[in-house]
Structure 1
Amino acid sequence: MIRKVIFIFVSLLLLSCEKETIPKPYGDLRLEYPAPKYQKFEKNCAYTFEYSDFAKIIDAKKPCWYYMTYPKMKAKVFITYFPVKGDFADHVKESEKMVYEHTIKASSIDTKSFQYPERKVYGNFYELKGQSASNLQFYATDSTNHFVTAYLYFDTRPKPDSLAPAIDYIKKDLMHLLDTFEWKN
């Protein structure tokens, strides 16, 4: 009797192993955001630009300071404005100081200078790689009267792999913002 049970058990075991099992591959999280539709930012400030309808503009502490928020990404771009009154070099130094304070966590910092002489818009765009608290920063100026800075922050711990799709999306938005940036006077 025991031999019959063992025979049946071994037979079932051999018959059930006909197909080779294949492990499932790891799935990648795919974050997709809507194609941006741009709208004009026009407030009672010295500058104007176009920004994505995926973002919202919220007033900050001082006049012409704003948060451009991306609620679904839990991201904010903090935009500040300073009139230049003989302190242009100080504004540039302070802006660069804000960038290079992140060298502790950033694995690299890519700097791109931009110039739009027809609109008198000049500046630098910084992309900080790695586990930096701020991933994108820029300043724009006419070098005589106006100075604008912007810093991207997420309401989460810096995780470059997880945040990469959101950073890429916002980077394109900020590049468009700079392409359309103008001084009013």
Structure 2
Amino acid sequence: MFKKLIFTFLGFILLSCSKEALPKPSGELRLEYPAPKYQSFTSPCNFTFEYSDFAKVRAAKNPCWYYIEYPKMKAKVFITYFPIKNDFDLHVKESEKMVYEHTIKASSIDTKSFSFPERKVFGNFYELKGQSASNLQFFVTDSTRHYVTANLYFNSRPKPDSLAPAVEYIKKDMLHLIETFEWKK
């Protein structure tokens, strides 16, 4: 009886292992966000721009400072406004310092200058690659009276692969913000 049980058990093992086991391919998370519809934001601090309806604009602690929040992405674009008072160079240096402080973690920094002379809108857009705490930054100025900066932050550890779809979505929104940015007269 014991021999029959052993032969039956061995038979099941031989028959059940006839196919070679293959590992399953790793799946990737596919994040899709809605096509943006833009709405206008007017600050009492002399500027306007358009932002995505997927986000919300909220006031920050200081006057003329704002958050553009993306709740589903756990992201914020922090916007600051400064009036220029013979300190234009200081503001530019401070913006560049904020960008280049991330060189420790960033694998590269792409800088693009923009200029819309008909609206007196000038500045730089910075894209930081790698495990940087802030992936996108820019400043906008009329170079005489007004200076605005913006920085993107996520409420998570910097993981470039995981955050890439959200960064790309917000990058398009930030570029649209720059393209529609105007100083109030």
Q: Deviations over 1:15-38 (max 9, x none)?
A: 223333222111111122111111
**3-state SS in 1 of match to 2:128:** strand
Q: Which runs of 4+ in 1 moved over 6 A?
A: none
Greater displacement, 57-66 / 168-177: 57-66
The answer to whether the aligner puts 1:72 opposite 2:81 as a matched pair is no
- 2:31 is aligned to 31
Closer/same/farther in 2, CA of residues 8 and 62 from structure 1, 3 Å limit: closer
**3-state SS in 2 of match to 1:123:** strand
Give the TM-score normalised by the residue count of structure 1: 0.93
- 1:118 is aligned to 118
The answer to whether the aligner puts 1:9 opposite 2:14 as a matched pair is no
C-alpha separation in 1, matches of 2:10 and 2:133: 60
C-alpha separation in 2, matches of 1:165 and 1:61: 29
**Superposition deviation, residue 45 in structure 1:** 2.3
- 1:178 is aligned to 178
- 2:148 is aligned to 148
- 1:45 is aligned to 45
Equivalent residue letter for 1:103: T
Give the TM-score normalised by the residue count of structure 2: 0.93
Among all aligned residue pairs of Structure 1 and Structure 2, give the percentage whose two residues are the same amino acid: 75
- 1:127 is aligned to 127
C-alpha separation in 2, matches of 1:103 and 1:121: 27
- 2:85 is aligned to 85
**Superposition deviation, residue 2 in structure 1:** 4.2
Note the residue ranges of structure 1 that are not aligned, 5 or more in a row.
none
C-alpha separation in 1, matches of 2:119 and 2:46: 13
Equivalent residue letter for 1:150: A
C-alpha separation in 1, matches of 2:11 and 2:74: 58
C-alpha RMSD of the superposition: 1.4
Greater displacement, 17-26 / 168-177: 17-26
Equivalent residue letter for 1:84: I
**Superposition deviation, residue 184 in structure 1:** 1.1
**Superposition deviation, residue 77 in structure 1:** 0.8
**3-state SS in 2 of match to 1:27:** coil
**Superposition deviation, residue 11 in structure 1:** 2.4
Q: Deviations over 1:121-144 (max 9, x none)?
A: 110000111111111100011111
C-alpha separation in 1, matches of 2:100 and 2:15: 66
**3-state SS in 2 of match to 1:179:** helix
**3-state SS in 2 of match to 1:45:** coil
- 2:56 is aligned to 56
C-alpha separation in 2, matches of 1:76 and 1:124: 19
**Superposition deviation, residue 154 in structure 1:** 1.2
C-alpha separation in 2, matches of 1:145 and 1:60: 22
**3-state SS in 1 of match to 2:43:** coil
C-alpha separation in 2, matches of 1:5 and 1:44: 86
